[in-house]
A and B are shown apart, each in its own frame.
Chain A
Amino acid sequence: MDMNEIKEIFFQECEEQLAELESGLLRLNDGDRDPETVNAVFRAVHSIKGGAGAFGLDDLVSFAHVFETTLDCVRSNKLEPTQEVLKVMLKSADVLADLTNVARDGGSVDQARSAQLIRELEALAKGEAPPAAATAEAPAPRAAAAPKAAPAPKPAAVAAVAAPNDQGFVPVAFSFDDFGGEEEAVIEHPAYEVVFKPKSELYTKGNEAALLLRDLSRLGEMSIHCNMDSLPPLDQMDPEAAYFSWKVSIKTDKGEDAVRSVFEFAEWDCELDVLAVETGEGAEAIGGDLPMQPVPFDLSALDEEPHAPLGVVEEEEQIAAAQEAVAAAQTASNVVQMAGSASRAAAADKGAAAAAAAAQNNAQQASSAAAPTIRVDLDRVDRLINLVGELVINQAMLSQSVIENDSNGVSSINMGLEELQQLTREIQDSVMAIRAQPVKPVFQRMARTVREIADITGKSVRLVTEGENTEVDKTVIDKLAEPLTHMIRNAVDHGLEMPEKRLAAGKSAEGTVKLTAKHRSGRIVIELSDDGAGINREKVRQKAIDNDLIAADANLSDEEIDNLIFHAGFSTADKVSDLSGRGVGMDVVKRSIQALGGRINISSKPGQGSVFTMSLPLTLAVLDGMVVTVAGQTLVVPLTAIVETLQPDAAAIHSFGATQRLISIRNSFCPLVDVGRILNFRATQANPVEGVALLVESEGGGQRALMVDAIQGQRQVVIKSLEANYTHVPGIAAATILGDGRVALILDVDAVVSASRGQPLHLETSLAAAG
């Protein structure tokens, strides 16, 4: 595995971390105050920073570092994750994603934006912190619990403080000497007290405690005390477990960050406390974590480190929870000595609560986190899908020949075949499911679009998503992002009104954009709705008249007017952005949805908003097709293009000029296109009355009646590329393989329709006259 491959894996992981980061922040935004959510967010940024550091991606590292520091304040409860704070954080997540992309693909990021966010993040880390000086200077979490400072205690902690007071206990200054003997002579004025207890994971990951301590020693004068209390008798010793912990007193002028950074890549695999120790009274903290500590001092909870009160803790969550409890207890009781059981009880309560919370986390994670997965090359999956498709065809061929050769139809071969058929179908379904993925990542990206557009337009917007776990084929998901971004932009920019206007209309100032996904009859339906002003039909109509799209006196239904915005003419005019309806690039949206084999519909209620409904196939690998016969050949016409089929009668066919023919359908005339002629399968036009007309709608919105000889039926077909071994064929979109093993061509309806408009389908044969 070379460096580039490793880097690629890092970027893939980054993507996952970024998704985790964003979803975590959004959960916090929704009022989730679970410490594990904060931890998850922090971990995501931390992992990105770690990896980026290993690859020397300095921009990424420095931004992630600032971000991490601020998140750390949230983690240590110094910074309340308010909406304002989260807004900055979400933007920072966006910038982090940008930086990651730039690191991978090159390009540049908005320097001003990231610089601005760095300032905002730094301000948050400093400004929002509790007034106590010590905490403001030390951004690290548990340093906040340093003896002197008394940050706003949590309710439970308040109880812990209150209880002993009620019982008449008086805060007593704690003296380190009380714990006597064991302790090494303390360095005169140690600046930091580091308690480092590795977990066995630290060693399994190849880290070495001695090296970390050696690194630490480079920072300044220090003394190390190794705690061997948890070392079991030799016969009970697990050679792979971690039994030692170290307490280091270090005097350094490098600051706490430097001390912590020594343990940067070991942080999740050890328990680490860095306490800023101040001269004199700081010494209190030093003895606090002595394992044999019998006094119910507040730090008794720290006993957990050597002798875990929760039993031998294995789950990281549990440890985190326990640490929460410790931190809380520490914070609460501070230098108060609590002799009674009250404090123990309180601390235990808190511990139990934290443990319960941790358990809840686990449950939540179990439901939200995906089952174990593996990464597979898409090529391999494609090959598998191909082979299974071939298996299905072979099985069908086999069945057919057995039926033909077996007159009684009850032979054991027949039974076996039926079983085979069932099995192949199941295999096909399972293989298709491999490529299926939830639409969640795309929806999450939309959240970012909403934030950005809302910022630019000065509107206040809430994005609500539903059904984000609905699964679709990966290729569909990949192609969904572009049209969705376009539509969301339109919805916020044109759909929603400014806050004042909304208030005046009796709505809330904050607009809502809702994105939902659901399965409906073998397709995925994605709905984008807003509670904005709806389409201004008068303006759209006027615009269409101005652009010669419709006649001035045309009588159009509301729906028809709404659908005008999909017309290409609406996207090019520069006045469009003044339109209170929509219009920018909606033709592009419609085309890309159609390219995916989907349809898009719009329904709008003036004053109440608009709903865009997209119906898409679940996969691009198969297509619903109408199998037809044209000049002796079997062709497949994509079902999505077909509006209706009809058997023309002679009276409905009208000649128009020398070669053209029109068919009248409900009092309107539609040009007839002979598919056999346009594909050069025959030299002269067939008699329309002997065939079947497929009324199709092309990307330009125009309707054509495609003449074919006969309809064989509807079928799901597996799409095969023609370009792979041949070249692009004008008028043909792709190929497929039918049940008899033969290749059938899939008609490119748009190309055929535009050919019928006079654009030649093929350079050699101008078919302008054919339609």
Chain B
Amino acid sequence: MTYLAKNLTNGGRELIAFRIGNQEFCVNVMSVREIRGWTPATPMPHAPQYVLGVINLRGAVLPIIDLSARLGMKPAEPTVRHVIIVTQVKNKVVGLLVEAVSDILTIKDEDIQPTPDMSSEFVRTFARGVLAIEGRMICLIELEAVFPQTESEAA
């Protein structure tokens, strides 16, 4: 949080950083609606493996994506310590299951470094840059690419 305090006066954009395994990722705070604890989801038939199912978010049916599986890593085994980041892209609201929220960052655009030139599908699909903050490496991911329907539309 020290970083946040230091940069608030400078303006710039705010990001929410979270952890999956030993890696850190972040998304723009403007697309985050709320953060809540894990509750068991109702599985969906014929859903891709990374769609854990749907939960009830104050009357709306909210699909939950296992972000770890979505990014091509080991599928999560959700526990009560896991959190769901409720995000909104365009008019759809989707919950992302992550291990923990780690930080809120205020950065300037020039702080975002281009993703290292790698051929992995992960980089091409989800990564939109990396941040080097206090010795940590945080990957900025593209929410739209994470959402299942955008994927199916592209397919």
Interface positions of B from 23 to 77, Cβ below 8 Å from A? 40-47, 53-56, 58-63
Give Cα A203 to B14, complex, Å: 57
A679 and B152 form a contact (CB under 8 A): no
Which of A724, A730, A761 makes the CB contact (< 8 A) with B92? A724
B42 and A729 form a contact (CB under 8 A): no
Supposing A680-B46, A725-B94, A731-B46 touch, asked if A737 and B56 sit within 8 A by C-beta, the answer is: yes
B61 and A735 form a contact (CB under 8 A): yes
**Which residue of A has the minimal Cβ distance to B63?**
A726
Chain A residues touching B, range: 20 to 34
Give Cα A570 to B112, complex, Å: 66
Interface 0/1 of B84-105, CB less than 8 Å to A: 0000000011100000000000
What B residues does A730 contact at CB under 8 A? 45-46
Supposing A731-B46, A732-B44 touch, asked if A725 and B92 sit within 8 A by C-beta, the answer is: yes
- Cβ of B148 < 8 Å from any Cβ of A? yes
- Please give the distance in Å from B59's CB to the nearest CB on chain A: 4
B46 and A729 form a contact (CB under 8 A): yes
B42 and A745 form a contact (CB under 8 A): yes
**Which residue of B has the minimal Cβ distance to A731?**
B45
B42 and A727 form a contact (CB under 8 A): no
A633 and B56 form a contact (CB under 8 A): no
Interface 0/1 of A622-639, CB less than 8 Å to B: 000000000001100000
Supposing A387-B59, A737-B59 touch, asked if A744 and B42 sit within 8 A by C-beta, the answer is: yes
Which of A633, A681, A720, A731 makes the CB contact (< 8 A) with B60? A720
What B residues does A732 contact at CB under 8 A? 44-45
Interface 0/1 of B132-149, CB less than 8 Å to A: 000000000000000011
Chain B CB count within 10 A is highest, among A681, A724, A726, A765, for A726
User: Which label, helix, strand, loop or mixed, suits the secondary structure of the A interface?
Assistant: loop
Give Cα A762 to B46, complex, Å: 7
**Which residue of B has the minimal Cβ distance to A390?**
B59
**Which residue of A has the minimal Cβ distance to B42?**
A743
- Please give the distance in Å from B154's CB to the nearest CB on chain A: 13
A726 and B45 form a contact (CB under 8 A): no
Supposing A732-B45, A743-B54, A745-B42 touch, asked if A386 and B61 sit within 8 A by C-beta, the answer is: no
- Please give the distance in Å from A124's CB to the nearest CB on chain B: 54
**Which residue of B has the minimal Cβ distance to A762?**
B46
Give Cα A737 to B54, complex, Å: 11
Chain A CB count within 10 A is highest, among B45, B92, B149, B152, for B45
What B residues does A393 contact at CB under 8 A? 56, 59
Across the A-B interface, the 6 shortest Cβ-Cβ residue pairs = A679-B45, A390-B59, A726-B63, A743-B42, A762-B46, A735-B61
Q: Write the residues of chain B forming the contact surface with A, with a CB cutoff of 8 angstroms.
A: 40-47, 53-56, 58-63, 92-94, 148-149, 152
List 10 A–B pairs whose Cβ atoms lie within 8 Å, in order of A's numbering: A387-B59, A633-B43, A634-B42, A724-B60, A725-B62, A726-B92, A726-B94, A742-B55, A744-B42, A765-B46
Excluding A390-B59, A727-B149, A742-B42, 6 further A-B contacts by CB distance (< 8 Å) are: A393-B59, A633-B43, A724-B60, A725-B60, A726-B148, A745-B45
